Amino acid sequence: MNSQLFRSLGICCMLIFSVIANAQSRSITGTVVDQKSQPVIGAVIKEKGTGNAAIAGIDGTFSITIASASPTLVVSFVGMENKEVVVGASNSIYITLSASDESLNEVVVTAQNIKRNSRSLGYSVASVNSVDIVEGGTRSAVNGLQGKIAGVQISAASSDPGASTRIFIRGIHSLSQGTQPLIVVDGVPISNASTNSSSLNGGFDFGNGLNTINPNDIASMDVLKSAAATALYGSRGANGVIMITTKSGSGASAKKGLGIEYNGSATFSNVLRLPEFQNEFGQGWDGNHWLDENGSWGPKFDGRDRVYGRVVDNAQLLAPYSPLENNVKEFFERGKSINNSIGVSGANETSSFYASYSNVKQDGIYPGQVDINDRNTITLKAQTKIDKLTVSGGVNIAMTDGTFVPTGQGQSGTYNNTMQLPRNMSVVDMQDYNAPFYNVEDYFTGYGVTNPYFILNENGNSYKGRKIYGNLQTSYDIKDNLKVLYRFGYDMNDNNIHNHRAILLPQGPNGGSIDDPGFVSEQSSGSQEFNNDVMLTWNKKINSLIKLDLTGGMNINGRSNNSLFASVSTLDIPGFYNIQNSPSQPVISESNASRRQVNFYGLANLDYKNTAFLNVSLRRDQSSTLPSESNAYYYPSANVSYVLSEGLNLPKAISFAKVRFGYGVTANDAPSYAFDRYYSQSVIDMPFRSMNFPVGGVNSFSINSNLANPDLKVEYNREWEFGLDLKALDNRASLDLTLYSRVTDDMILFKAVAPSAGGTNQISNFADILNKGVEIVASYKVLRKEDGLNWDIFGNFSKNLNEVRGLSEDFNLGGLSTTSFTARNGQPIGVFEGSVPETSPSGQVVVDADGVPVASTQKEEYGNSQIGYMLGIGSKLKYKAFRLNFLFDARQGGLMFSRTADINHFTGNSIKTAYNDRKPFVVPNSVRKIDQGDGTFTYEENTIAVDPAHMDDYHRAEAFDRNNVISKSFVKLRELALTYTIPASSIEKMPFSGMSFSIIGRNLLLWTPVENQYVDPEATTFGNGINAEFGEFSANPTTRSYGFALRFTL
Amino acid sequence: MKNIFKIVFVALLASTYGCKKFLDVNENQDSVRAVGMNLQLPGAQASMAVTFGGSFHNLGSFWAQYSTQSPDAGQYEDMDSYRVTTDEFDREWSEVYTGALENLRNIKEEANATGATNYALVATLCESYTFQMLADLYNEIPYSEALAGAANTTPKFDNGADIYPAIISKIDEAIAAYEANPSTNDLSTADIIFAGDMDQWIRFANTLKLKMYMRQSYTSSPKGAEINALLTEDNFLTADASMSSFGSGEGQRNPYYEIQVDRLGDVNNRASNTMIKFLRDSLPVDDRLDVLYMAGGSAHQAKEQGDFANRDISSDDLSIPYYEATTPVYFITMTELHFLKAEAMVRYAAGAGAQAEYEAGIDASFAMHGLSTSSSFYGAGNKYAYNATGDVETDIAQIMMQKWVAMCNSQNLEAFFEVNRTQQPPLSTNAQGTPGNIGERTLSYASVLSGTATPRRLSVPDVEVVRNSNAPSQPANGLATKVWWDQK
């Protein structure tokens, strides 16, 4: 076995460096596609009457060596009709397979990596194949799913190179115990943790586990949405599961097949959305042309020459007082991404292997090497079968290196500093940040803002991420119908983050605007997960009608993570960014956590005449994070599926119909160390800061302020779903309808308690979340002509409603002091609340002595962050060798906070602030509030107009905080790809067996409601959980990307 | 092959036997389930220092009229205009209960269980001081049922008038227990106030009791007998009770300095003219003027209390209360002790010895700032010379004025209590918007309270009220409602 494995790997290595020597017999190349013109990856091509065979690879291409002059090829794939094709003299062939009569016999990967026929399942599984994932040229596989799956909200945190992606499957089910789905690669869970910071003073996002995977390694992704589908993952299945199957060398029956596959792309990016700026008023404040203001509240542009900036050596800059409409846009450059991936696979009767290497080099839209991301991945997989024993294994290594332009305010947020340029000031002129007028001493404003180029080039951060994961699996056929499998899986992550800010102590007469003694931090963190699985499967044909499958398994899981952080905030030597470069004691923190589980599960599938199916399962989890006397929980599930078109006489137009019903229970496990009280190093809380021990050479420990809870339980999810699958008009139309309802109860929350009890909170099980919704997936083959025009349209719609119940007090999800973001009883998750104008008893707006509305002392609800519905609509057009695909992705409803909006209201740069040409106006329906001196007030009609000197006070009034909370609805042209597949006949003299060339684009167009003139609503700077739904705090602008891709196989 | 399979299977079965042990990883690796009392005490004492020397100290600075809000910033306009919101001190309430009191309670329990009477006494005294200060600030606080953990998350509120005697009897019990069986557990590094000097702690107990008895001087049952007993025993502090082990790095500094000076850039607090006038305008100028305040320009300038709407003087030109990173946080000072004794002697011992204590109080105040010129101010005929008239209120007025000055920047919250108790310095009778005379408090220009009302307490913070059904409803007059001993 070992020798064969090594031989396979050896072949693989040889092939990477040499071109295959051709065999003596004739070789035929071809492509296998389905009726949707999608390649049939893994289709088996055999030469009838011989042992010659091949497997269709990526793009459905294959190459087979044939013995006879006019052979017959038998092409087969599970769920498809076998097809026999007689090959003439041509050396290339194009084969279309149609779905077998038993339509929807699609094989999907279900929980615990069990492959099932989707027909037999009582729940929906969304399956996406490799072409659909990579077609848009995304570096992150999961981004390739955006808009393609009903009920799954996938949002890239930003377009910053390497940034992470958050996924909510059928809404948000937990307020504190994680919201992201479990990611399983080839049967083994991997960490999808994100390396990010939501700091308002310099946030960053270096990505998450999912986007270290090379999309070209993926054969398919199956999204398990409902609890019925994920109950076999018990306490890890609460947020859904994404099952990723990577490519392997071959199918089992292949005799021979060896190939090299290359995927490459080069894409460029530019800013998708900048705020809409006004171009009528320039630098100043209160209507005056003040030269040190970081805003455009000055007089109207008149085009006359005026001095600006500080006086340096008795000189001052001079320029016409006119708008520079593209001053911010010009700051950014064109981003680039080069993507290369090469895969080699091979197989013989008993063994197969797959090996790949990929490299992604990205440089984002900020000038310079400040937002780069460089990812290298290596994958090796091999499998061999000896008699009744099958051994397989795989290892994946991902190495990511990056830099990130921090978001947020202060001297870290480059974008935020750029937003504070008056409309008449050029940013590109400031590129030399050591030059007079533009250096940090002489920078024009003294309001805590400095030259963005200084920040960009002198402050920085860098990241090194290393991920290694893999599995080793053996299975043994004890009998024909009894099989045992053992699998070991491991995932290891090692991350290092470095951050620094330059010493910024401006001297000189102008004195600069920011003092910063410098800062360095180093963080190293890691995580490990192992899984041991044993699974026994047995199947039996009870009689001619009934089949029974039984599976039993055991899983032992361990997870741990650790982190060490050190920072110093005063530096001695300029430009030397090392923890030792400081007179002050470093702030150090350490964290370690581990958790383990021992789990058992069983499942039974009953098949009646391939028409009615019953599946039941039960899982028992025992977890280290729960009190030992009550740490075991059971997760049952059951689902039924009935193929109506088999059992009933349906109208002819309906070619397939199935109803399904599923119910399941899953849970979110409790966090580590939550049910007991602990002491940790003393940190004394104070406003804005804390006192951190040791102090004065004395160390101290204080009792944790969580009162703990010995009765802690897991938080349960119970979900049912009902669905209908229909195919009609000779399979040309399909419809998949799902209704679901899920209750999360016994939710684990840190319940706030009165501090006088001796703690500030107690972890408890209380409150429920209700999620219910509908998902509709439909497609229609508008035109279908072999060798002619083929046109498919498809779409998916989903709507999820959620509500929090049983909360006695608002639960804080994040937010800011001005705008809160909470879970509130009886409301959807993520309620926004903030200041509103004070009104008189008769509902008129109260204004102050300047005529500006006054904020009410009582904050009010603005609405919530929940999306109303999601819609994806796409089209696939194929004509001969050309394919044109596009996809629109839309979301409607929900609010978000935008700090970008806020700063543009503040600076008077937003087009909104040019309201009424900044001419004086009286706030309509406003009153003055008159204090009667005895605690009572009277109201009289307001006649005071807001004058130009108070226009800024009006537009940035606290009473109008609501203006910074905007709709996050959008429609995006998510993907566009035009592909030309070179006909096999054209390349027969070349060493290629298939080749295609594409022009690709992602996020090309964005439409938003009028009230959002500021940001891409998908952007966030608040991480990957619920708080990400709060919005953005000066997020870097998102981008559109476009370019080309080349794929070929040898 | 079959053998391998058997081995794997048996191994896995064996591993499930070890399941209980396998799952026993829920021991937090970053923290510990138990630590020695010596490691808990510094954090508890620091929590007291941060609470009373940080935000509450800052509040006292406004309400005792040592500082006023700068016209060019606005962080503390609410304090200066007497409309402190009910969530303003959520953080401090949480910190003092869960940081100081909860840990002190733990130390006490462990000390009582192990016979560590010295730890029990120190923890009791720290807890007593903390409860007394909170009771004086809020009038009603959870005391008898507080800190019961999950067993009682809605402790009832006790009135200050009931808490005082309870505190005193607990102090007496702890002293008795210590004296009956004085344990010698090492406190030297753990006790960041007195480095384990138990004699000093017993003196601290007596001084604290003296302060608490004196607090009741205007109530219907003043504690003259108890006070005379303490004066007779005369075993009071011989050094300031303070935390002084601050460093210069972030997270290591004096809490007022950390927040106001370093974090907020010292843009809010500016000298109140109430204090500046007193130090500067009756000649000779008090030497403490230049150590208590940093002049903005060449001379000291200040604003009338709450006059932040008036921008006639730039905040850069106004004097700023002066703190350093390592300025100690004072719990009870020698200067306070001397003034307490002086007042007690006037009230309950016909004034005998009062002048000496009065002068010692001024000496201690000057000494705290490294000055030694105090006698030139209280010497006969000089501006602070003690003039024993025999009229209790007149004599006490002299003492309280000096006590008010002496507590500036060192015991601001205590000064606020004492101003309320004795109404010294008196509130000016001038109309709002008109400066008070020298030696008078000015009614804040920005006061939102009706008439001449001034703040007398804080409302129990939201963080407690919304979670504790036993919290009292807010008093009708809000901040202007007097606490139980405030009866002058």
pLDDT digits 0-9 by tens, B133-155: 999 999 999 999 999 998 999 99
| A299: Cβ contacts below 8 Å, ≥ 6 apart | A281, A282, A284, A287, A288, A289
Dihedral (CA of A62, A67, A71, A76) sign? negative
Number of folded domains that form chain B: 1
| A631: Cβ contacts below 8 Å, ≥ 6 apart | A622, A623, A624, A625, B23
Indicate whether B110 belongs to any domain: yes
The confidence score (pLDDT) of residue A139 equals 81
* Residue B153 structure tokens: 């998350």
Weakest mean pLDDT among A847-861, B304-318, B387-401: B304-318
A585 lies within 8 A of chain B by CB: yes
Question: What is the distance between the alpha carbons of residues B194 and B243, in angstroms, rounded to a whole number?
Answer: 9
The confidence score (pLDDT) of residue A6 equals 44
Q: Does an H or E element contain A1047, and which?
A: strand A1039-1049
Distance between start and end Cα atoms, chain B:
96
Residue A103's region, left for phi above 0, alpha for psi from -120 to 50, else beta, is beta
Residue A79 pLDDT greater than 80, yes or no: no
A588 to chain B: nearest residue by CA? B251
* Residue B1 structure tokens: 């092959």
Is residue A105 very low, low, confident or very high in pLDDT (cuts 50, 70, 90)?
Answer: low
**Do the Cβ atoms of A809 and B467 come within 8 Å?**
yes
On whether the CB atoms of residues A473 and A486 are closer than 8 A, the answer is yes
Dihedral (CA of B151, B155, B158, B160) sign? positive
Q: What letters, b where the CB count within 10 A reaches 16 and e where it falls short, cover A85-123?
A: bebeeebbbbbbbebeeebbbebbbbbbbbebbbbbbbb
Question: What is the distance between the alpha carbons of residues A407 and A903, in angstroms, rounded to a whole number?
Answer: 13
Q: Does an H or E element contain B378, and which?
A: helix B375-378
Indicate whether B275 belongs to any domain: no
Q: Does an H or E element contain A458, and which?
A: helix A452-458
Tens digit of pLDDT for each residue in A55-64? 787 667 888 8
Indicate whether B115 belongs to any domain: yes
Q: Following DSSP, what letter does each residue of A571-630 receive, concatenated?
A: -SSTT---TTS-SSPPEEEEEEEEEEEEEEEEEEEEEETTTEEEEEEEEEEEETTS-GGG
Dihedral (CA of B18, B20, B25, B31) sign? negative
The confidence score (pLDDT) of residue B13 equals 56
Question: What is the distance between the alpha carbons of residues A769 and A174, in angstroms, rounded to a whole number?
Answer: 7
Please compute the mean of the pLDDT values over residues B43-67 and round it to a whole number. Answer: 98
On whether the CB atoms of residues A415 and A271 are closer than 8 A, the answer is no
Residue A256 pLDDT greater than 50, yes or no: no
Question: What is the distance between the alpha carbons of residues A648 and A5, in angstroms, rounded to a whole number?
Answer: 51
Of B1, B19, B154, the CB nearest to A476: B1
* Residue B179 structure tokens: 């004296």
Mean pLDDT of chain A: 89
Indicate whether B372 belongs to any domain: no
Residues 231-250 of B with CB under 8 A from A: 245-250
A705 lies within 8 A of chain B by CB: yes
Which positions in chain B touch A676 (Cβ < 8 Å)? 26, 28, 33
| A998: Cβ contacts below 8 Å, ≥ 6 apart | A135, A137, A977, A978, A979, A980, A1044, A1045, A1046, A1047
Interstrand relation of A61-66 and A715-728 (parallel, antiparallel or unpaired): unpaired
Which positions in chain A touch B247 (Cβ < 8 Å)? 585, 695-696
Residue B463's region, left for phi above 0, alpha for psi from -120 to 50, else beta, is alpha
Which positions in chain A touch B95 (Cβ < 8 Å)? 684-686
**Cβ neighbours of B362 (radius 10 Å):** 23
| A800: Cβ contacts below 8 Å, ≥ 6 apart | A151, A170, A171, A771, A772, A773, A866, A867
Phi and psi at A936, nearest 5°, equal -110, 165
Of B15, B26, B50, the CB nearest to A673: B26
Is residue A250 very low, low, confident or very high in pLDDT (cuts 50, 70, 90)?
Answer: low
**Do the Cβ atoms of B91 and A685 come within 8 Å?**
yes
Distance between start and end Cα atoms, chain A:
28
A482 lies within 8 A of chain B by CB: no
How much of chain B, in percent, has pLDDT values that exceed 70?
A: 96
Indicate whether B41 belongs to any domain: yes
**Do the Cβ atoms of A700 and B12 come within 8 Å?**
no
Q: Following DSSP, what letter does each residue of B6-65 receive, concatenated?
A: HHHHHHHHHHHHTHHHHT---S-SSSBS---HHHHHHHHHHHHHHIIIIIHHHHHHHHTT
Mean pLDDT of chain B: 93
The confidence score (pLDDT) of residue A917 equals 93
Neighbour order of strands in the sheet with A811-815? A811-815, A820-823, A831-834, A860-864
On whether the CB atoms of residues A946 and A920 are closer than 8 A, the answer is yes
**Do the Cβ atoms of A762 and B150 come within 8 Å?**
yes
Question: What is the distance between the alpha carbons of residues A258 and A245, in angstroms, rounded to a whole number?
Answer: 20
Q: Following DSSP, what letter does each residue of B449-463 receive, concatenated?
A: SSTT------PPPHH
Q: Does an H or E element contain B93, and which?
A: helix B90-95
Q: Which of B30, B45, B134 to mutate to test the interface with A (most CBs of A within 10 A)?
A: B30
Question: What is the distance between the alpha carbons of residues A870 and B477, in angstroms, rounded to a whole number?
Answer: 53
Largest CA distance in chain A: 108
- Tell me the shortest Cα–Cα distance from B305 to chain A, in angstroms: 20
Instruction: Identify the three-state secondary structure at position B411.
Output: coil
B248 to chain A: nearest residue by CA? A584
Indicate whether B216 belongs to any domain: yes
One-letter amino acid identity for A696?
Answer: G
**Do the Cβ atoms of B19 and A756 come within 8 Å?**
no
Top pLDDT among B264 and A964 is at A964
Please compute the mean of the pLDDT values over residues A274-280 and round it to a whole number. Answer: 96
B98 lies within 8 A of chain A by CB: yes
On whether the CB atoms of residues A909 and A423 are closer than 8 A, the answer is yes
Please compute the mean of the pLDDT values over residues A292-321 and round it to a whole number. Answer: 93
Residue A50 pLDDT greater than 90, yes or no: no
How much of chain A, in percent, has pLDDT values that exceed 90?
A: 67
What's the Cα-to-Cα distance from A496 to each of A912, B129, B200, B205, rounded to whole Å?
43, 46, 50, 52
Is residue A14 very low, low, confident or very high in pLDDT (cuts 50, 70, 90)?
Answer: very low
**Do the Cβ atoms of B250 and A476 come within 8 Å?**
no
On whether the CB atoms of residues B89 and A720 are closer than 8 A, the answer is no
Instruction: Work out the angle at residue A631's Cα, subtended by the Cα atoms of residues A628 and A633, and round it to the nearest 5 degrees.
Output: 160
- Tell me the shortest Cα–Cα distance from A284 to chain B, in angstroms: 19
Q: Provide the ipTM.
A: 0.93
The confidence score (pLDDT) of residue A37 equals 63
Q: Does an H or E element contain B107, and which?
A: helix B102-114
On whether the CB atoms of residues B189 and A699 are closer than 8 A, the answer is no
| CATH number (domain holding residue B487) | 1.25.40.390
A582 to chain B: nearest residue by CA? B249
Of A590, A625, A757, the CB nearest to B148: A757
Q: Which domain holds residue B74?
A: 1-266+446-488
Of A554, A708, A752, the CB nearest to B467: A752
Highest mean pLDDT among A512-526, A776-790, A984-998, B113-127: B113-127
Q: What is the DSSP letter of B96?
A: I
**Do the Cβ atoms of A695 and B142 come within 8 Å?**
no
B102 lies within 8 A of chain A by CB: yes
CA torsion, ordered B13, B17, B19, B20, to nearest 10 deg? 170
Which candidate, A1022, A758, A1004, places its Cα nearest to that of B101? A758
The confidence score (pLDDT) of residue A933 equals 67
Please compute the mean of the pLDDT values over residues B204-227 and round it to a whole number. Answer: 97
Q: Which of A756, A822, A859, A953 to mutate to test the interface with B (most CBs of B within 10 A)?
A: A756
- Tell me the shortest Cα–Cα distance from B240 to chain A, in angstroms: 18
Question: What is the distance between the alpha carbons of residues B122 and B198, in angstroms, rounded to a whole number?
Answer: 8
Indicate whether B380 belongs to any domain: no
B43 lies within 8 A of chain A by CB: yes
Indicate whether B199 belongs to any domain: yes
Phi and psi at B268, nearest 5°, equal -100, -50
**Cβ neighbours of A962 (radius 10 Å):** 17
Beta bridge partners of A154: A167
What's the Cα-to-Cα distance from A471 to each of A142, A189, A491, A529, rounded to whole Å?
21, 10, 9, 12
Which positions in chain A touch B142 (Cβ < 8 Å)? 754, 756
Which positions in chain A touch B83 (Cβ < 8 Å)? none
Tens digit of pLDDT for each residue in A330-374? 999 999 999 999 999 887 778 889 999 999 999 999 999 899 999
Of A595, A679, A756, the CB nearest to B468: A756
Phi and psi at A600, nearest 5°, equal -125, 150
Question: What is the distance between the alpha carbons of residues A159 and A1034, in angstroms, rounded to a whole number?
Answer: 14
Weakest mean pLDDT among A623-627, A756-760, A969-973, B99-103: A623-627
Of B44, B251, B467, the CB nearest to A690: B251
Identify how many contiguous H helices and E strands chain B contains and give both numbers.
20, 8
* Residue A493 structure tokens: 């992550």
Which positions in chain B touch A677 (Cβ < 8 Å)? 33
Is residue A5 very low, low, confident or very high in pLDDT (cuts 50, 70, 90)?
Answer: very low
- Tell me the shortest Cα–Cα distance from B429 to chain A, in angstroms: 18
* Residue B206 structure tokens: 């007596």
Which candidate, B208, B56, B65, places its Cα nearest to that of B137? B56
Question: What is the distance between the alpha carbons of residues A571 and A585, in angstroms, rounded to a whole number?
Answer: 11
* Residue B52 structure tokens: 């009373």
**Do the Cβ atoms of B25 and A388 come within 8 Å?**
no
Please compute the mean of the pLDDT values over residues B161-169 and round it to a whole number. Answer: 98
Beta bridge partners of B26: none
On whether the CB atoms of residues A295 and A283 are closer than 8 A, the answer is yes
**Do the Cβ atoms of B153 and A753 come within 8 Å?**
yes
Interstrand relation of A689-692 and A683-686 (parallel, antiparallel or unpaired): antiparallel
Residue A101 pLDDT greater than 60, yes or no: no
- Tell me the shortest Cα–Cα distance from B137 to chain A, in angstroms: 15
